[in-house]
Structure 1
Amino acid sequence: MIWVTDAEGRVIFANRYYETVLGAPAVTMLGDGWQRAVLPEDLPSFYAAFMTAFAARQSFRVEIRFIDKHGQARWYRCAGAPRYDSLERFLGFTGCNLDISEGKRAAEESRRNELRFRAIAESMPQIVWSALPDGRLDYFNQRWTEYTGQTGADAVENWPQIIHADDRDRTGRTWEASLNTGETYEIEYRLRRHDGVYRWSLARALPVYDEATGEILRWFGTCTDIEDQVAARQALARSQEELEKVVSERTAALQSANEQLRKEIIEREHAEEALRQAQKMEAIGQLTGGVAHDFNNLLTVISGNLERLLRRLDDDAPDLGRIRLAAEHAMRGSKRAAELTERLLSFARRQPLRPKPVDATQLVMGMADLLERTLGEQIELKTEVDDDVWPATVDANHLESAILNLAVNARDAMPGGGVLTISLSNQAVEAKGSADVDPDMLPGDYVRLCISDTGTGMSQETRAHAFDPFFTTKEIGAGTGLGLSQVYGFLKQSGGGITLNSEMGEGTEICLFLPRSSENLQNILGESLAATTALSAKAGEGTILVVEDDDDVRRHSTSLLAELGYRVLEAGDGERALALLRDNADVDLLFTDVGLPGGLNGRALAERALAERPDIRVLFTSAYAHEVFKSEDNLGKRAEILAKPFDSALLAGRLTALLSEEPPAGKPGDPAHEPVILLVEDEMLISMLATELLEELGLGVETATSAAQAMGVLSQDPARFDVVMIDIGLPDRNGDELADDVRALRPEVPIIFASGRSSSELEETYRHDRKIRVVSKPYDGRALAAKLSELGVCVRPAAPF
């Protein structure tokens, strides 16, 4: 593109090639029109070059980009020179623009190739180098510097100096021959490492030719350490005598190493055996510690109530009602001990099971209502049952307990709500150790029952101990740690299996594998429908008010009670029940569900009923009954709980026991003149026993089942309590932490710690505090009286301890 300017620097001529390239008439380039075709960011560099040349009347050259008619930027070299007339007067500049885009692209591609080569060369573990056609080396990668210690110009100029002196001439001749002939350069020589040690290296290089001219453009080569290969070749080249000597030496060394290895294996086996023994002792310690804690609680209930029973029998006029109550509490503690034993036997796979053909689908669907009540409103329950699920051979009662146990665990892992899914499917196991099943399971057919949640999941450490007895991640008092171990033992004893899959933040899935039954499913269904529950032959006496919001359950309960001989009144909510209670003075017992609609639940109903009718008995029924007493402090001696589902025999026995008791009496003495103690104990039976013992010592008692509830009671009137008794293991906090908060409110208040574990550590911790004493479970009235006396709390002198 040729152009001419006038003496002012304005373009006065542009040839037609402008139009060919730019797609605009050449006349539009005149004046300053050419600027519109130049890439804006290139104009400053052009003006700088042009104005400098214009002022000095000198030639100039600059590279700029024009936007062609296709909208693409193309590089041009713009060159111009001043022009004069015959009288040497300056007329302007004449110049041309030459397209150099292809050269620019070639240069950019060359630069990119150079960068790619260097990137590849620097990433290789070998030494990489390049040389010019005349043999001068112009590049080494970083491996050369790391290996030899040479850097920069030193490497380019003096690289022959690091070749062993005995190898330099041979290396130079070989390199010259390759340069002259273009043949591949390949040679072995000794290269000096940065620490001065010479090691054998293999150098290889290939020429790169110009495809157009056939001339060598460059050489690219590598150096590879072959010290080990050369040593091997030299060893092979030795004489037979030297080789045998080397073999003999190596054999001796290997024998020595083998002997050392054998010794290390023996030592490792001893260490592993010691570790297994230590782990076994740790497991036994954990097991016995957990058993001791639970049994101490139970022994407190049993021995304390037996002691009360014996004292009552020594009275001149024994109170048979209180004797019976103490005996029943002791019996209840013994039943809980039996349940604990059953759980231990379940883990040890020694429990008595009654396996029979069971329709797993019917069992799971039948538990839906129970599970929904147990899980609460925040948890969504889903069931996914395949068609034609096989019947299973299993103990149905234990299976129901296992499902409920796993569902409660899942609920606790979803404190903010979530989804719990129960799925049923058939599973055929082809061989022992098959993937996705318990590795101990034998080949055969199984019913696969999975319970999965969307909860917090388990860490790797928790998964490793999930089935260990007494292992729990819950707070102290919130779990025994026997739930999963009991399920594990039950499945193993049943000939099935269990798997656990869990990740932190991704929920947990536990699958139970139940052996398939050969029984026909229709036969199982027929037997189930034909089965009936035997009713107690002994007719009951009295009037019972049944309060249940579920119509079917209420009809079932009223039918059972009517068949037992009781007069029955029924209500669907608390307000209706209170109205019936006021209109019927002959009501002897309130039989109420815990969860009732209308804002008045079973517990609140019982409190209002007892306020109006102190002589009435109360029997709660619930799918998760112990929740009634978690925050309860005044129903313990006047109410009992019957867990759903229940049978008529159990119901009849419970009603007979309740209705045969004497009406509850109020506290002895005048509370205004009695010392008042705050008893913080989450175990219901222990709380009831301790309350009895303390009242017999002449103390007024108020109870709490958690640290939070205790602080709530204390904060209302801290000065009301003369002493605080704290169980060291509470569901929400440790007892010693609660004691610190109590002291913050009442610095001078005496405190008694109750512990089911060893009390020596607690006693040592607080031995300098004169206002703190420790009593060990199981305790009796004499032990409590002694600790209270040591703290300066007056107890009733006539207490028969």
Structure 2
Amino acid sequence: MADNQQSKRELQGQEGLSPLFDIMLEGVVVRDGAGRITACNRTAQQIYGLSAAELEGHTPENLPVDFLNEDGSSCPPDQHPAMVTLRTGLPQRGVVMGIAHPGRDPVWIQVNSQPIADSAGRISSVITSFADITPIKRAEDALRASEARNRTLAEAIAQSGCSVIITDSAGCIEYVNPACCKAYGYSEEELIGARPSIFKSGETTDAEYAGLWRTILAGETWRGEMSNRSRDGRLIREAVSVSPVRDESGEVRHFVALKEDITQLREDERRRHELFERVARLERMELVATLAGGIAHDFNNVLAAILGYSQLAATQLKQDGGGARALKYIDEIRAAGQRARELIQQLLSFRRGGAVQPGSAALAAIGREAVGLLRATLPDTLAVVADIDAGLPRLAVDPAHLHQIMMNLLINARDAIAGIGTIRLTARRVSIGDAQRCDSCGHEFRGEYVAITVTDVGVGIAPEHREKLFEPFFTTKDVGQGTGMGLAVVHTMTHLYDGHVRVESEPGKGTAVQVVLPARLLQEGAAA
């Protein structure tokens, strides 16, 4: 009876406070000792989204809403702060929880619960007050999500394989990622505060830099390729993107540069281009060789008739006492025919590579013979010198091929000198340790070789002509002074024996052409 009277007095007191409850900005709910709602103010009804009739008489367990913990997980009814206070007698402060209606976003509240004791000191009820913190909670969640995104972005930039550089609006570096430091060989401390010009290679023009700045200062993104240089002087070819970064007002405050090292890509492209060019050149040479071979056989027959009949005509004129002028004309015809026959022989040699005859060649003897033949054609202003290692054994090659190689190189050297000069023919054994590339076939080679080199002090070879040197019929000589077959024949004869050709030349300072034949062709024990 006493308890009922006490409850009535509490309810009457609460009813007297009802006007005060309703003007409070916080929600207030009073629960009895069993956790049932006995009173609630208007703010509590608004926050819950339920009327007083839907709230009163209900415990957290049978309310038509779900409760959530701060992390979004489900909150059991017995963990509601009011129920914890009733169970423990301890007040709860600042508990964040959510009120969830089906199909609606949760309302987030911050709850305080305070126990109310009766005259005997027993917990007879509990009062909870709470404020709607949904906007704050959403802002915190958004902030946490933004921070998570920023952390992810920072980690992605830090771990990116591309170099990332962020500068202020004046172009001073404020951030570099580890990939940038690794690519250029600088520490982060050395780059912060510096300017991107620290990477300049000297190969990017001022006009290109000016175009970059015009683009990014106009608020647009610049994309292109640049050659930069690392700390140790290594040249780096990069694909670069530079973008402006604006603040909330649209003002450009920073620039971000993304750089990808494409040095190897460009090198691979260059090598592929060289390979395609070599294949195309070889295909052209094969086509010309096929055509030349077909023409040469027929033309050789015509020349045989020209030379034969001119010989008969000369003999007949001499017997008949013909005039000296007519004999001179016939001699010129025979000389021209002989030159044409030599050209045909070159064409046939180029077509089939010559018939490889078993045997051996005395390099020194063939060299002396070739030099002697050339010396007979030289003016007084030119000299030819042979410097052949006398200790070289004989070579297992066709002597005719070796003679053709030497004569073609010597004749080219002679024609390259316009004035006073010396032509030098050398031959010696060499060891090639570092890989070198053949200028006629493009393959790399190294090892033990016999090197035959002809050096002149002539006009040299222009850079634009180097790619065509070994093509048949290509010549830089005046009309009538060259057939363009010399180096094409050298290429063919040399590669019959797995040899290679190297050309070193500087315009105005002369040329050195070196033919290398594998040392395995040396016939050890066979005197030269």
**TM-score, normalising length: structure 2:** 0.40
Q: Which has the higher strand share?
A: 2
**TM-score, normalising length: structure 1:** 0.28
Higher relative contact order (CA 8 A, sep 6+): 2
